[in-house]
Chain A
Amino acid sequence: MPHKKEEIKDELYGDAVREKIEEFAERGWDSIPEEEREEWFTRFKFWGVFHQRSGQESYFMMRLTNCGGVLKPDQLRAIGEVAREYATGPAENPEWGNGWIDLTTRQSIQLHWLNLEDIPEIWEKLESVGVSSRSAGGDTMRNISGCPVAGKAEEFIESRPILDEIQETIRDDDELSNMPRKFNISVSGCKQGCAQDSINDIGLEPAYKREDGEMRKGFNVRVGGGLGGREPRRARPLDLFIPPEKAVETVREFVEYYHEHGNRQNRSKNRARFFVDEHGTETIREDLNDRLEFEFEPAGTHFREEYTYNAGKPPEEGPHDHVGVYEQRDGLNYVGLSVPVGRLTAKETIALANLAGEYGSGEVRLTRRQNPIIMDVPDDNVAPLLSEPLLEEHTPEPSPFVRGAQACTGTEFCSIALTETKVRMARMLRWLRNNTDLPDDVNRIKIHYSGCTADCGQAMTADIGLQGMRARKDGEMVEALDVGVGGGIGADPSFIEWVHQRVPADEVPVLIKEIVEAFAAHREEGQTFREWVEEFGVEPLTDMTDPAESDYEDATLTDAKQAWYPFAEGDSPAPTDPDGTPISADD
C-alpha cells in the first residue's frame, strides 16, 4: 500500500502547489483548515516553503535554490533585502539578532520567520532577479551540486554547461517533480572533488580513457551515496564511463528509473542509497544499458586519489575548501570568505553583495561548506577588498577552528533535532580559539555539528564530528553530544568513530581541546588530523581524554528541546498575524 504521503502528492504536487500557496497567503494563515495543515505543509515544501516547528505556528522557512551555488549579480542583494524586511520573528537570536540568512551545505540559502501572507511578495522580489525556491524541498530533486567555481577555476572537464542543462531539462521538468524521496545530483569537473559526489544519489566524477595515444575525457558514474543516521553510504561505482555529451541523458535515465521503480511504501528505506542496496549496481547498470541507446563502456581512470576537498590531506597537496584568495583561469581572482556556521545578518548579506559588485563582477557563489565566494576580482582590487570590515569579520584567513566549522539548523527551528547547534557552535569556536594552541602548520580542523542522527550538518565526514543527543547531569536532562573523530571525504570517504557519547554540552569544549592537544602532541610533523586518527586509533584517544566543565558557558544546556524558541523566555506568541500580533485560539 502506498505511503499516505504518496496519496497527498498524488492529489496535488509540483508546480501546481504554487497557486494554492498564493491563495492561502491572500486569505491569511487562518484560512488553512487545521485538519488539513499537515498535508498542505507536505506540499508546500516542493516550493521551498517549510512551516516552522511546534511553538512557531504561522511562521515559515524558505529555502532558495540555484544550480551549483551560483548567484548572479544583484541576486544576493535581493536576498539580503528580503531577509531584512521579512525574515524577522517574535524573538531575537542572541548571536545574530533578527533578520539573517543561513548558507547551507548544499550551496543554498534559507530564510526564517517568514509570514505566509508575505510569501507572494517575497517571490516577486526574488524572482525579479532570477532567484527561485522551486524544488527546494519535499520529494524532489534538490540543489544540483557542483564545484562552486566551475567555469572560473581550472577544470579537467567543463561542468557548467552540463549542470545548467541538468537544471533546465531534468530538475525543472514538472513530470519528474514527484520523486519517491528527495534526490541529490552532483557533477564534478575539477580534480579537487568539491561537489562531493560520494555522498549524492547520482554523482558524475571526472575521468578519462587513453586510447591510441589520445586522451578522451568524460565522467565515471556513481550512485547511491548519502549521509543520514541510518546507514550512511558512499556512492558506489557503476563501472561506467560516459563522454560529456551523454552526461545529461544518463542522469535523466537514472532519475526516471528511480522515479518509476523507487519504493513508495516505506519511507524509512526508500532513499536512492537503499534502492541501490536493493537492486545492486550490476542490475542497475544492465537496466540503464537497456534504457540508453549508446554503447556502455567500463569506468575510466579517475582522480579520486588526488581529491583534496575535505580529504584530510596536507595543505601543500591542494585546497581543502574555497576559503582564501585563488586565481581564476581568466587571470582574475576569487575570494572565499569564512562565515562561522554559515549565518550572515541581513546587513552583512547586503554589504557582501555590494562588495562583490564594487570589487568583482557582482557574482557570488556558495560552497558546500556554508561559505560565500566573491568572484572575478582583478589583482588590484584584492588588497582593498581584503581590508574591508566585512572581510576582517569573515576573513579569508580564519582561525583553524572557524575555517573548518559547519552546523545544521538545530532545535532553533528544526522539529527533529535534539539540540541547539549554531549558537553553541559559534560560542564553542570562540572558546576554542582563545584556549587551544595548535601547531603552526595546522590551519584547519573540521568540526561539523548535527543536532541529531539525521546528520544534516555532515558530522559523519568531519575531523571531529558532533551529533546532538541527551544525557542526565546533576539530576536533570541536558543537551548532550556524541563526539567522534576521523571522518572525511576524498578518495576514500570515511565516517567518524565515537570517542565519547552523551557528553553534556557544557563539557564538550574541554573534550575537543583535549582531543586537539593529543593530536598536537602525538602527530608526526606534517600529519593532518585525519591521517593521525587513522594511525593513532580511537581507543587510546578515548582513554586519554575526558569531558569537563570550564569557563565556557552554554546558552541552552537544559533546554533539551522543550521551549518554543531556545533563547526566549515565556510563552510563544505564535500563531501571529503578519504584524506579530498573536492570533487568539478562541477566534
Chain B
Amino acid sequence: MSHRVLDVTAYTTFDYLQGGASGLDWDEDGIVVLNVESDEEEGVVRLSTELDPTDVQRLDQHADHVELFPDQARTLASTLREAADRVEEEVDDE
C-alpha cells in the first residue's frame, strides 16, 4: 500500500514545493507537500512535510513532522518573514 501519508486537499498549506532529501553522500530531489495544522488537544502547531513517494528511491515512504509551541511557531513565522524580505531585497538589488 503506498497512499500518501499526508492529506493533500485544497486546505493543505502547500501541495507543490520543490525540495529533496539528503544523506551523508547522497541527494535526491523531489516534490514536497508541506502542511501546517494546529493541534488544539496537544497545544502545538504541527508542521509536516512529505516527499512524493515515487520521487525518492532511497527512503521508505514517510512524512516528517515537527511540533512547535505557539511562541516557537511565531518565532519561526517571523524568521521566515525576515528571510523572505532579505531574498526579495537581494532580488531588487540585482
Contacts and interface: CB of A to CB of B under 8 A. Distances in A.
Interface of A: 1, 3, 229-230, 232, 265-266, 268, 411, 415-418, 452-454, 460, 469-472, 477, 482, 484, 494-498, 500-502, 542, 561
A470 B39 CA distance: 26
Contacts of B6: 229-230, 453
Contact of A470 (B1, B16, B53, B55): B16
B16 A265 contact: no
Contacts of B31: 471, 501-502
B85 interface: no
Nearest to B39: A266
B10 A418 contact: yes
Given A416-B9, A484-B2, A495-B1, A542 B15 contact: no
Given A416-B9, A497-B1, 9 more contacts: A1-B40, A1-B41, A229-B6, A418-B10, A452-B9, A495-B3, A496-B2, A501-B31, A502-B16
A155 B1 CA distance: 33
B76 interface: no
A1 B7 CA distance: 24
Contact of A469 (B3, B8, B37): B8
20 contacts: A229-B7, A266-B40, A268-B37, A416-B11, A417-B9, A418-B9, A452-B8, A453-B4, A453-B6, A454-B7, A460-B3, A470-B15, A482-B4, A496-B2, A498-B53, A498-B54, A500-B54, A501-B53, A502-B16, A542-B54
Given A266-B39, A268-B37, A477 B3 contact: no
Nearest to A538: B2
A322 to B, nearest CB: 28
B2 A229 contact: no
Contacts of A469: 8, 15
Given A3-B40, A497-B1, A453 B9 contact: yes
Nearest to A484: B2
Contacts of B3: 229, 232, 453, 460, 495-496
Contacts, number: 74
A495 B41 CA distance: 31
Contacts of B7: 229-230, 452-454
Contacts of B39: 266
Contacts of B54: 498, 500-501, 542
B69 to A, nearest CB: 16
A268 B6 CA distance: 11
A23 B40 CA distance: 34
Interface of B: 1-11, 15-16, 31, 37, 39-41, 52-55
A272 B39 CA distance: 19
A523 to B, nearest CB: 22
Nearest to A497: B2
B8 A453 contact: yes
Nearest to B15: A470
A45 B11 CA distance: 20
Contacts of A472: 16
Nearest to A454: B9
Contacts of B53: 498, 501
A415 B9 CA distance: 9
A500 B2 CA distance: 12
Contacts of A561: 10
A471 B2 CA distance: 19
B41 to A, nearest CB: 5
Contacts of B5: 230
Contacts of A268: 37
B16 A452 contact: no
Contacts of B55: 501
A132 to B, nearest CB: 29
Give the most central of B1, B3, B4, B37: most A CB within 10 Å: B3
A194 to B, nearest CB: 23
Contact of B10 (A265, A452, A471, A484): A452
Give the most central of B6, B9, B31: most A CB within 10 Å: B9
A496 B4 CA distance: 11
A561 B9 CA distance: 10
A417 B8 contact: no
A42 B85 CA distance: 39
Give the most central of B2, B31, B53: most A CB within 10 Å: B2
A496 B39 CA distance: 30
Nearest to A487: B1
Contacts of A471: 16, 31
A464 to B, nearest CB: 15
A502 B53 CA distance: 11
Given A229-B8, A471-B16, A498 B2 contact: yes
Contact of A229 (B1, B4, B37, B40): B4
A291 B53 CA distance: 44
Contacts of A460: 3
A414 B65 CA distance: 28
A477 B14 CA distance: 12
A497 B4 CA distance: 10
A511 to B, nearest CB: 13
